[in-house]
Structures are given as structure tokens and as C-alpha cells.
A and B are shown apart, each in its own frame.
Chain A
């Protein structure tokens, strides 16, 4: 191993550039082009980070569960699914954290409090802790397949929390407002350009997620490969032990 390896390819570089452009436009659109809300004023701009980040977290945890299910149901037990599951969960945890922080700042400005124990906030907090536990299980040690098996079971259990988190605002009365666009039986509740900005946020955060995921997964593959190449050398060394 003499050449420096990168996790980038021309495709991911293009994706990276596109993502950066989209995020820059989101910043401009969110901070400058879009209007203030009639009640909330400028604090409404929190939405353009808060909503896309929880969306990415749902996406990431959903993908984790999907990859785990593929790993468990596939007889070949290919570790690539496990790596995608792990990489996706790491990014998901990051974005739940962002969502919690922006949400509590936004809450301070509009509700008058950083945190309340309503169904939405509480369930989101549990989602966060659960996936921190998932990441801890991944670092428990043991063989790769042991890691994959344990964490797959965890992921399939943990993903059940997501519908509870998302629909908590419809099932119960919460201080948190209901969904404005992802609500199954409601009209879109945003004025024109605000809606566009929010959509733009969802798109650019999704691109960011894809870019991070690909790189993280490749990095994990390299880490595993380092261990595997180490194995080849270790086997050679082990064989020479004989006869000494």
C-alpha cells in the first residue's frame, strides 16, 4: 500500500459539487429570498434546516433497516449491506442531533421554551438515544459477521420507532405543530416561495446525505480491507511460526 487512496471517484466529485451548489442556493434562498412569516417573523427560517435534517434522519434509518433486512434475508450474508447500514445510521444520528438542536432553538423563539415533554419531542429524543445504542453495538467487537448480525437485529427493532415519531403529532395533541407538507390528509400549508425553499432544502439535504453515505461506506470498506490485508500478512507470519 504505497499509493494514497481516496474515497472519491469522478461521479462522487460531481455529486459533491452539485450538493455544494444546492446548499449555497438553499442558504441564499432561506436567509434572503424567502419572506418572513406573518406570525413568526424571521424565525421561520429555522424550518429550512430543521425539517430537512429530520427528513434525512428518517431516510438514513429507513435505509439502515432496509440494508439490515437484506443482510439477514440474503443467504450470502454480504458485508456490504452491513457497511451501508452502519454508515447510514451514523449519518442519521448526526442529522437527528441537528434537528434536535435547531428545533429547540426554534422552540425557544416561538413557543417560549427550549424543550417540552410532548409526544413528538419525547419520541424523537428516544429515537436519538436508540441509534446511539445501535452504534455502540457496532463497536462491541467480535467478528464482522457477529457485528453484522447483532446490529441488524437492533436496526430492525429501532426502525419501528420512526412511524411513532412521525405520526405522533397526528395521534396525539402536541405542542409541536403538525406536518405542513408530509401530512396525508391536509393541504399544503405553506405560501409559495416558502414551500419552494423547503423543498429545495429537502433535495439538497438528500444529496448531502447520498454524498456522505457513499464516502463513509467506502471508508468503512477500506477499514475492513486493511484488516483483511492484515490477515493475509498475519497468515504468512503465523505459518512461519512452525518449526521454530
Chain B
């Protein structure tokens, strides 16, 4: 039986083994770039938290009888509260949607600010069971606006459409 020490790979290949391996690092980098592209280009609509009012019934994922979340700005003077039911209109890109909601929306809910309503479209009216207020990334000091925009309309026109 042969028991001579098995010849191992020569010194050259052992030196190679010590060298940093670049191929996997390049693969990681490429995969990350690919990941960025997939996530930012193709998956946007799928991870989006809500549909805008103008996309309801139009865009993939915002159509049909499925449960959706709709974002829009509460139209001024559209809020009617009767016997525990709130009704108001949402507007976005010149499209409006009537929303019916059981109860009193929480948060800083008021007219002229963007909100997200959960529910489904029933006979052209959005039947919602949950309202979330989506506040913007604009912060305006209260004292200052008292002079500049005392009228409610001014506050409405300030908000992005």
C-alpha cells in the first residue's frame, strides 16, 4: 500500500489561495446594483403603500374589487358628519373620490390635508374603515402663518396638488 505523502498543489497555487478573491466581490457589487434597479424600477408599484385618487380603477394593483388604500387631499368644505358617519371627498390630480367612513377619523384629520383611506370601492363611493393622516414633510411655524395665511383657503392652496 502506498503511503507516500500525497503531493499537494504547488507553491504557486498556494500563493493564489492567499490572494484576495475578487470574483465574488464583483458579483456582490453587480448583484447589489441589479437589486437597486429591480427595486427602484420594477417593484415601486408593488411596495407602494397607497394608490392616488386618479389611479383608482386605472393602474395595476388599484383596480377591481380588491381592498386598496387611497391617498388624496380632503376637499375643502366637503366634510359632512352625520350620526357617526363621516363623508368627505378626496382630490388628487383633478380627480375626486367620495369617501364614506364609519366613525370619527383620528390623528390631526382636517380639511385641506392629505390622508390615506383603507377600504374598497362600492358603487363609485369609497367605503372606508380606516383613515390615516399623511402629513407632509413641510413644517410651518404657527405664529408666522397667522399673518400670512389667515384664511383657510390659503392653507389649502399651499399644499401640493
Contact = CB atoms under 8 A, between A and B. Distances in A.
A110 B143 CA distance: 20
Contact of A110 (B47, B133, B138): B133
Given A110-B135, A179-B137, A173 B107 contact: no
A86 B105 CA distance: 44
A178 B137 contact: yes
A123 to B, nearest CB: 10
A172 B49 contact: yes
Interface string A34-46: 0111111101100
A226 interface: no
Nearest to B158: A38
B65 interface: no
Nearest to B71: A173
Interface residues of B, number: 35
Contacts of A5: none
A119 interface: yes
A173 B68 CA distance: 14
A189 B142 contact: no
Interface string B129-161: 011111111111111110000000001000000
Interface in B18-56: 32, 39-40, 44, 47-50, 52
Chain A binding site: helix, strand, loop or mixed by DSSP? Answer: loop
A41 B39 CA distance: 36
A180 B44 CA distance: 21
Given A112-B106, A118-B49, A173-B50, A36 B135 contact: no
Chain B binding site: helix, strand, loop or mixed by DSSP? Answer: mixed
A55 B102 CA distance: 39
A191 B140 contact: yes
Contact of A40 (B130, B135, B144, B155): B135
B134 A37 contact: no
A99 to B, nearest CB: 16
B107 A110 contact: yes
B113 interface: yes
Given A172-B49, A173-B50, A39 B137 contact: no
Contacts of B32: 160
Contacts of A190: 138-139
Contacts of B52: 173
Contacts of B44: 171-172
Contacts of A43: 108
Nearest to B133: A111
Interface of B: 32, 39-40, 44, 47-50, 52, 71, 105-110, 113, 116, 130-145, 155
21 contacts: A35-B142, A38-B155, A39-B140, A40-B108, A40-B135, A110-B133, A111-B107, A112-B105, A113-B107, A118-B49, A164-B39, A171-B44, A172-B48, A173-B49, A177-B137, A180-B137, A180-B139, A189-B139, A191-B140, A191-B144, A194-B141
Interface of A: 35-41, 43-44, 47, 108-113, 116, 118-119, 160, 164, 171-175, 177-180, 183, 186, 189-194
Given A110-B108, A112-B108, A118-B49, 5 more contacts: A39-B108, A39-B135, A113-B132, A189-B136, A191-B139
